[in-house]
Amino acid sequence: MSDASASQLVDENAPNSTQATSPLKLNGKFTQGALLRGEVPKGSTVLLNEQPVAVNKDGKFVVGFARDAKLNHVLTVKAAKGSVITREITLEEREYDIQRIDGLESKMVTPPASVTARINKDNRNVAKARGNSSDLDALFTRFEWPAKGPITGVYGSQRILNGVPKWPHYGVDVGAPTGTPVFAPVDGVVTLADDLYYSGNTLILDHGMQVFSTFLHLDTMTVNVGDYVKKGEQIGTIGATGRATGPHLDWRINLGKMRLDPQTIVSGNPDD
């Protein structure tokens, strides 16, 4: 990503606002796949492309842009006293890698009919784990990498498994030996801790406002559903469970059902 994609948009009485009497702050990497965090005066209403955006009691909000989102968007803020701020957002277009993985067992590329019921149940459980969200606001603090190691897979890459094109990869992979600790990147509540067919031992953390972290292929999970975990608290260890060719952590970020790039909310590299 270019330096421009990491810019901060701060609207302070911007000239193109219709009645810009209140500041708008929007922070993040302005690119496809990004999660942006913003703040407006308390009591304001926020719209993205004319669709309502949830705003908490402190005026904080999040917006996300999918892997292949269009590049031009309009953010509108309507203050409680009637003033309006309108800002255009231009995203950086991304090019995604093509990743080929061979040598997988055929049942993991095209699962047998005998496991269809299990996969469907897994999908329902994951949807339920992301179906509701807390009012936590820890997601507005600094995220840290959940594990140490080199990046071995990136968000958005097209995966070809045993020569068969599959869905894009929606996480960032950190390669490390089995047993390497995995930590909460920021505070959250555990909403799923289960062994799933594709992703093996899987944890989901609710960070609030429909923002969720998911941790795949874990060897062990050291927290339970309902636990509140603090940033930096160990939640498990890296493994190779589920459909994995070797030990690694697949870390994912969701805004509701939208799958976003964890690297847009964390700085540096996990092996720094």
H or E element, residue 119: helix 116-129
Q: Find, among 139, 142, 91, the residue nearest to 266 by Cα.
A: 142
pLDDT the model gives residue 99: 78
pLDDT the model gives residue 20: 41
Does 202 have pLDDT greater than 90? yes
| Coil/strand/helix, residue 217 | strand
Q: Which residue has the tokens 């999970």?
A: 221
Query: What backbone torsions phi and psi does residue 264 show, to the nearest 5 degrees?
Result: -85, -5
* Least confident range of 97-106, 125-134, 140-149: 97-106
- What is the arithmetic mean of pLDDT over 235-247? 95
Query: What backbone torsions phi and psi does residue 37 show, to the nearest 5 degrees?
Result: -115, 135
H or E element, residue 63: strand 60-64
Does 28 have pLDDT greater than 90? yes
- Model pTM score: 0.88
Please tell me which residue, 9 or 18, carries the higher pLDDT value: 9
The pLDDT tens digits of the residues spanning 90-126 come to 999 999 988 788 887 776 677 888 899 999 999 999 9
Domain ranges of the chain: 3-90, 98-264
Domain 98-264 has CATH 2.70.70.10: yes
Q: Mean pLDDT of all residues in the chain?
A: 90
pLDDT the model gives residue 31: 97
- Please check whether the two domains, 3-90 and 98-264, share a CATH topology: no
- Residue 258: CA count within 13 A, CB half-sphere: 20
pLDDT the model gives residue 23: 79
Domain 3-90 has CATH 2.60.40: yes
pLDDT the model gives residue 13: 33
CA distance 41 to 38: 11
CA distance 205 to 190: 5
Q: Find, among 270, 268, 262, 272, the residue nearest to 33 by Cα.
A: 262
Residues whose CB is less than 8 angstroms from the CB of residue 121 and which lie 6 or more positions away in sequence, other chains included: none
Does 244 have pLDDT greater than 50? yes
pLDDT the model gives residue 166: 83
